Amino acid sequence: MNYQLLSAVAFTTLLAVSGAVGAALVDRGGGMIYDTVLNITWLQDANYAQTSGYNTDGRMTWDEAMAWADQLVYGGYDDWRLPTALNRDHTGPCSGYNCTDSEMGYMFYKNLGATANHLISQGANIANLALFTHIQDDVYWSSTGYEPIALFAWYFLTGEGYQYLDRRTYKGHAWAVRSGDVTAISPNR
Q: What are the domain boundaries of the chain?
A: 3-179
Structure confidence at residue 179 (pLDDT): 96
Do 60 and 171 meet the contact criterion of CB atoms below 8 Å apart? yes
Count of all residues that appear for the chain in the document = 189
Cα Rg of the chain, angstroms: 18
Structure confidence at residue 23 (pLDDT): 53
- The distance between the two most distant Cα atoms of the chain, rounded to a whole number of Å, is 70
Structure confidence at residue 32 (pLDDT): 98
How far apart are alpha carbons 124 and 16 in whole angstroms? 29
Structure confidence at residue 140 (pLDDT): 96
- Mean pLDDT of each 10-residue bin along the chain, 189 residues long: 37 34 80 96 98 96 98 97 92 89 92 76 64 92 91 92 94 97 62
Decide: helix, strand or coil at residue 26.
Answer: strand
pTM given for the model = 0.81
Structure confidence at residue 169 (pLDDT): 97
How far apart are alpha carbons 137 and 148 in whole angstroms? 28
Do 45 and 31 meet the contact criterion of CB atoms below 8 Å apart? yes
Structure confidence at residue 115 (pLDDT): 82
